[in-house]
Amino acid sequence: MIHPVILSGGSGSRLWPMSRAGYPKQFLALHGNTETTMLQATAKRAQGEGFAPPLLVCNEEHRFIVAEQLRIAGIDASDIILEPVGRNTAPAVAVAALRLSKQNPDALMLVMPSDHVILDEEAFQVAVCKAANAAQQGALVTFGIKPDSPETGYGYIQRGDELEGTVSGVFNVSRFVEKPDHVTAQQYLNSGTYLWNSGIFLFSARTYLDVLEKYQPSMYEAASQALDNSQQDLSFCRLDAEAFAASPADSIDYAVMERTDQAAVIPVDMGWSDLGAWSALWEIEEKDAQGNVARGDVLLYDTHNSYIHADHAMVAVAGMDNIIVVATDDAVLVADRTNAQDVKQLVEQLKSDGRDEHNLHTTVHRPWGCYRGIDLGERHQVKRITVNPGERLSLQMHYHRAEHWIVASGTALVTCGEKEFLLRENESTYIPMGETHRLENPGKVPLQLIEVQSGSYLGEDDIVRFEDGYGRSPQS
């Protein structure tokens, strides 16, 4: 039995403005004309005979998004482990290995980032079977992608001799190398012995932990303490924050794979991409006769080899080649396709300028549903709120604002002070400043309402929670 371990801690800043820290690329349906998100696609490709339910490790701020996307996909996770702080992939996998080893020390772990695309899933399954055979013999297996171009955005693996005692097609790792310049990447391509480093691994929990304890004892100890002192929070495993924060931050490659003589690699051609930039999405998507990829309401004239994504309003482009245009309702990105990696620098500039566009979309997801900002003034704010059937917001109050609620569709159960009452379509109510209140959807369809806030301060941190069904802190 193979245990999929899905790592969902990335922010995907190079795919801004679609991907943002509060709702990064793994939660988006970016590839193809499908509503399946990258997280859902990752979980689905490791389902069926021979696979156990997946274990996920994610940022605690994303926990309800992860759980909801798995529910929509019809996938039951064996566990969702919450990282209180990011420490790169090696400690995250250590915690997962420790968790699995409590039931079976020799459990096989298929470690996958949540935000990769694999076009040929049959080739992936064949490689997984080979890797499982080698992992049972004590190998730490990584999947090396057969390169088709001198790519400078990936790390490389040089394969050595074929690994003895396992199925054919599994090789010893000669060395790992960093992202090369173009000349070096071309030399790697010409040699035929170098592979792109996919960041996907398969090994047993016991083997990984033994090697980690040998080479990174402080990381092993921190992961052990973080799990031993963890707490169950609803359906989530919340790691001990102090213990996990004490762990060194490092990747699986640096902490384990580059140090051990048990590293092995399987060369595979499976249509893989880590979608590290908009240019990568252009490369794998189906193009029109002019080499363009157009998503959404897009109008093109005399435009070639470009990626255009219109999330809300129409986008029109004329007389331009090799560009990227991505338009959301609050930001527009225009970039040369060859400089797509530079988008990360724009995101860093947004952070340093104190702007919030790097973090949240205008639609913000919450465990009970979502809200979307419609208008914002000096002393007022208008939101469209969606509450999923059977869900409810926390019992709360605000020091600095009052609220008007108008039901657009569905039914609302409202608590305001000592009163509890129903609101139906086109009905409204007023929540005074400082009054305890709650909003709930008792119906079978989503509740849609318009909220008009007024007051001297309208920030999301003006929330005092008295009761919450989602384990969130009393003070937002």
Instruction: Transcribe 412-456 into DSSP letters.
Output: EEEEETTEEEEE-TT-EEEE-TT--EEEE--SSS-EEEEEEEEES
User: Please, which residues have CB within 8 angstroms of residue 118's CB and are 6 or more apart in sequence?
Assistant: 45, 124, 270, 271, 272
**Type of residue numbered 317:** V
Query: What was the pLDDT predicted at 337?
Result: 95
Q: Which H/E stretch holds residue 350?
A: helix 343-352
What domains are there in the chain, each with its CATH number?
2-273 (3.90.550.10), 278-350 (no CATH), 363-467 (2.60.120.10)
Looking at every residue in the chain, the average pLDDT score rounds to 94
Query: What was the pLDDT predicted at 339?
Result: 92
Mean pLDDT of 44-60: 95
Structure tokens at 56: 């996920």
Q: What gap in Å lies between CA 68 and CA 453, rounded to an integer?
A: 28
Q: What gap in Å lies between CA 19 and CA 316, rounded to an integer?
A: 22
Tens of pLDDT, residue by residue over 222-275, are 999 999 999 998 889 999 999 999 999 999 999 999 999 999 999 999 999 999
Residue of 369, 416, 374, 418 whose CA lies nearest to 390: 369
Q: What gap in Å lies between CA 263 and CA 428, rounded to an integer?
A: 64
At 47 the three-state DSSP class reads coil
Residue of 34, 56, 59, 60 whose CA lies nearest to 46: 56
Mean pLDDT of 91-113: 97
Whether residue 471 is predicted with pLDDT greater than 90 in this model: the reply is: no
Query: What was the pLDDT predicted at 312?
Result: 86
Residues for the chain: how many in total?
Answer: 476
Query: What was the pLDDT predicted at 435?
Result: 97
Q: What gap in Å lies between CA 99 and CA 93, rounded to an integer?
A: 10
Residue of 9, 19, 8, 10 whose CA lies nearest to 278: 19
Tokens 């005092």 locate to: 464
Mean pLDDT of 287-315: 96
Tens of pLDDT, residue by residue over 144-159, are 999 989 988 899 999 9
Q: What is the pTM of this model?
A: 0.90
Residue of 275, 10, 274 whose CA lies nearest to 145: 274
**Type of residue numbered 354:** G
